[in-house]
A and B are shown apart, each in its own frame.
Chain A
Amino acid sequence: DQQVKQNSPSLSVQEGRISILNCDYTNSMFDYFLWYKKYPAEGPTFLISISSIKDKNEDGRFTVFLNKSAKHLSLHIVPSQPGDSAVYFCAASFAGGTNAGKSTFGDGTTLTVKP
């Protein structure tokens, strides 16, 4: 049972346009949702997160939207830059309890931003 799914393995956008990466989840008990970016030969780096009690969080060019009723979140990058080309992972985690320290990741979406 894959609790976090990223249905698009890849996405290609033109520089300056908007990139929208999508993620679906099945467990309504998740407390946090996070996006990580990963370059080849490096570990993932944290990008932005959102608490389950919010529906939007913005940080510069990056905005994450959460639709709890649809169990769906999305990451918007505006404007997209060639340096944003990487693999993006969606992840979900709990605030504590027996699932503390465990993040559930999607399979990732490879974003390519063309100059």
Chain B
Amino acid sequence: KAGVTQTPRYLIKTRGQQVTLSCSPISGHRSVSWYQQTPGQGLQFLFEYFSETQRNKGNFPGRFSGRQFSNSRSEMNVSTLELGDSALYLCASSLQGQGEQFFGPGTRLTVL
């Protein structure tokens, strides 16, 4: 089975712009979660989607949003980018949302 894929792998944007990141989960996995990792920090939970519905959301401002498509692929969007949004954004998939998650390689976002 192919693993979780994320595109693009690297992205450079300027303050005020918006960005869309994409995640393709493992085939058959219906749950997709997004995390933000900043230097020296653990993974901060952004949100989780299951069967096209957002089931859970972390403590991030409304500039961070996401969606999931019928094929379980997911996108996350960040609008009005700030310097502090520079981070590694990780996507993880699982069958139903509990237990072990399978992570993609991440998208490294740099905001200048």
Q: Are the chains A and B members of one assembly?
A: yes
Asked whether B42 lies within 8 Å of A101 as measured between CB atoms, the reply is no
Asked whether B103 lies within 8 Å of A32 as measured between CB atoms, the reply is no
Interface residues on chain A, number (Cβ under 8 Å): 31
Contacts of B44 in A (CB 8 A): 105
- Report, as a range, how many residues of chain B touch the other chain: 20 to 34
Q: Is B63 an interface residue (CB 8 A)?
A: no
Contacts of B99 in A (CB 8 A): 32, 34, 49, 93
* Chain A stretch 78-115: residues in CB contact (< 8 A) with chain B: 89, 91, 93-96, 98-108
B101 to chain A, nearest CB (A): 6
Asked whether B42 lies within 8 Å of A105 as measured between CB atoms, the reply is yes
Asked whether B90 lies within 8 Å of A100 as measured between CB atoms, the reply is no
Q: Is A42 an interface residue (CB 8 A)?
A: yes
A24 to chain B, nearest CB (A): 13
Give bound CA distance, A96 to B56, whole Å: 11
Q: Is B64 an interface residue (CB 8 A)?
A: no
* Chain B stretch 7-43: residues in CB contact (< 8 A) with chain A: 31, 33, 35, 40-43
The residue on B at minimum CB distance from A90 is B42
Give bound CA distance, A42 to B107, whole Å: 10
Asked whether A100 lies within 8 Å of B48 as measured between CB atoms, the reply is yes
B42 to chain A, nearest CB (A): 4
Residue from B31, B40, B49, B98 having most chain A Cβ neighbours under 10 A? B98
Q: Which of A42, A101, A107, A108 contacts B98 (CB 8 A)?
A: A101
Contacts of B40 in A (CB 8 A): 9, 107
Asked whether A108 lies within 8 Å of B56 as measured between CB atoms, the reply is no
Q: Is A60 an interface residue (CB 8 A)?
A: no
The residue on A at minimum CB distance from B97 is A101
Asked whether B56 lies within 8 Å of A105 as measured between CB atoms, the reply is no
**Which residues in A have some Cβ–Cβ distance to B below 8 Å?**
4, 6, 9, 31-32, 34, 36, 41-46, 49, 89, 91, 93-96, 98-108
**Which residues in B have some Cβ–Cβ distance to A below 8 Å?**
4, 31, 33, 35, 40-45, 48-50, 55-56, 58, 90, 92, 94, 96-106
